[in-house]
Protein backbone atom coordinates (compact mmCIF):
# COMPACT_ATOMS: atom_id res chain seq x y z
CA UNK A 1 0.00 0.00 0.00
CA UNK A 2 2.99 2.31 0.48
CA UNK A 3 4.89 2.93 -2.77
CA UNK A 4 8.07 4.06 -0.97
CA UNK A 5 8.16 1.29 1.62
CA UNK A 6 11.09 -1.15 1.60
CA UNK A 7 9.21 -3.63 3.77
CA UNK A 8 8.45 -7.02 2.28
CA UNK A 9 7.78 -10.62 3.27
CA UNK A 10 9.58 -13.69 1.96
CA UNK A 11 8.70 -17.37 2.04
CA UNK A 12 11.21 -20.02 0.99
CA UNK A 13 10.47 -23.74 0.85
CA UNK A 14 13.36 -26.12 0.23
CA UNK A 15 12.64 -29.79 -0.47
CA UNK A 16 15.50 -32.30 -0.55
CA UNK A 17 15.00 -35.87 -1.73
CA UNK A 18 17.46 -38.74 -1.37
CA UNK A 19 16.96 -42.01 -3.20
CA UNK A 20 19.04 -45.08 -2.40
CA UNK A 21 18.94 -48.79 -3.25
CA UNK A 22 18.27 -51.12 -0.34
CA UNK A 23 21.20 -53.36 -1.32
CA UNK A 24 19.01 -56.40 -2.05
CA UNK A 25 17.64 -55.49 -5.45
CA UNK A 26 18.37 -52.69 -7.88
CA UNK A 27 14.62 -52.22 -8.43
CA UNK A 28 13.80 -51.47 -4.78
CA UNK A 29 14.56 -47.89 -3.82
CA UNK A 30 14.15 -46.03 -0.53
CA UNK A 31 13.32 -42.36 -0.66
CA UNK A 32 13.96 -39.89 2.14
CA UNK A 33 12.41 -36.46 1.92
CA UNK A 34 13.26 -33.38 3.96
CA UNK A 35 11.39 -30.10 3.84
CA UNK A 36 12.56 -26.78 5.24
CA UNK A 37 10.23 -23.78 5.47
CA UNK A 38 11.75 -20.35 6.05
CA UNK A 39 9.66 -17.22 6.55
CA UNK A 40 10.95 -13.67 6.85
CA UNK A 41 8.33 -11.17 7.96
CA UNK A 42 8.82 -7.49 7.24
CA UNK A 43 9.64 -5.32 10.20
CA UNK A 44 6.98 -3.60 12.22
CA UNK A 45 5.89 -0.02 11.70
CA UNK A 46 7.83 2.17 14.13
CA UNK A 47 5.55 5.05 14.94
CA UNK A 48 8.24 7.15 16.60
CA UNK A 49 10.35 6.95 13.41
CA UNK A 50 7.56 7.49 10.88
CA UNK A 51 5.73 10.13 12.90
CA UNK A 52 2.41 8.55 11.96
CA UNK A 53 -0.69 10.30 13.21
CA UNK A 54 -4.43 9.91 12.73
CA UNK A 55 -5.40 7.28 10.15
CA UNK A 56 -1.76 6.35 9.47
CA UNK A 57 -1.31 5.62 13.19
CA UNK A 58 -4.38 3.36 13.16
CA UNK A 59 -3.02 1.55 10.07
CA UNK A 60 0.40 1.12 11.70
CA UNK A 61 -1.19 -0.45 14.77
CA UNK A 62 -3.15 -2.84 12.55
CA UNK A 63 -0.02 -3.79 10.61
CA UNK A 64 1.90 -4.48 13.82
CA UNK A 65 -0.96 -6.55 15.26
CA UNK A 66 -1.28 -8.55 12.02
CA UNK A 67 2.46 -9.28 11.91
CA UNK A 68 2.39 -10.40 15.53
CA UNK A 69 -0.58 -12.69 14.86
CA UNK A 70 1.05 -14.14 11.76
CA UNK A 71 4.22 -14.81 13.73
CA UNK A 72 2.16 -16.63 16.39
CA UNK A 73 0.47 -18.79 13.75
CA UNK A 74 3.79 -19.74 12.18
CA UNK A 75 5.27 -20.55 15.61
CA UNK A 76 2.24 -22.72 16.46
CA UNK A 77 2.58 -24.63 13.18
CA UNK A 78 6.17 -25.54 14.01
CA UNK A 79 5.26 -27.06 17.39
For residue 3, the model assigns a pLDDT of 62
27 lies in a domain?
A: yes
Residue 5 lies in a domain: no
Residue 4 included in any domain: no
On whether residue 23 sits in a domain, the answer given is: yes
pLDDT at 11: 83
- What total number of domains does the chain contain? 1
Which regions in the chain score pLDDT beneath 50?
1
3 located within any domain? no
User: Is the pTM for the entire model greater than 0.85?
Assistant: no
- In three-state form (DSSP H/G/I as H, E/B as E, the rest C), the secondary structure along the chain is CCCCCCCCCEEEEEEEEEEEECCCCCCCEEEEEEEEEEEECCCCCCHHHHCCCCHHHHHHHHHHHHHHHHHHHHHHHHC
For the stretch 11-20, pLDDT in tens is: 889 999 998 8
Predicted confidence at residue 2, as pLDDT, reads 56
Amino acid sequence: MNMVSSRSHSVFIIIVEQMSADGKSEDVKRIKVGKLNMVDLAGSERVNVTGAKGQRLVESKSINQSLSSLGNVIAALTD
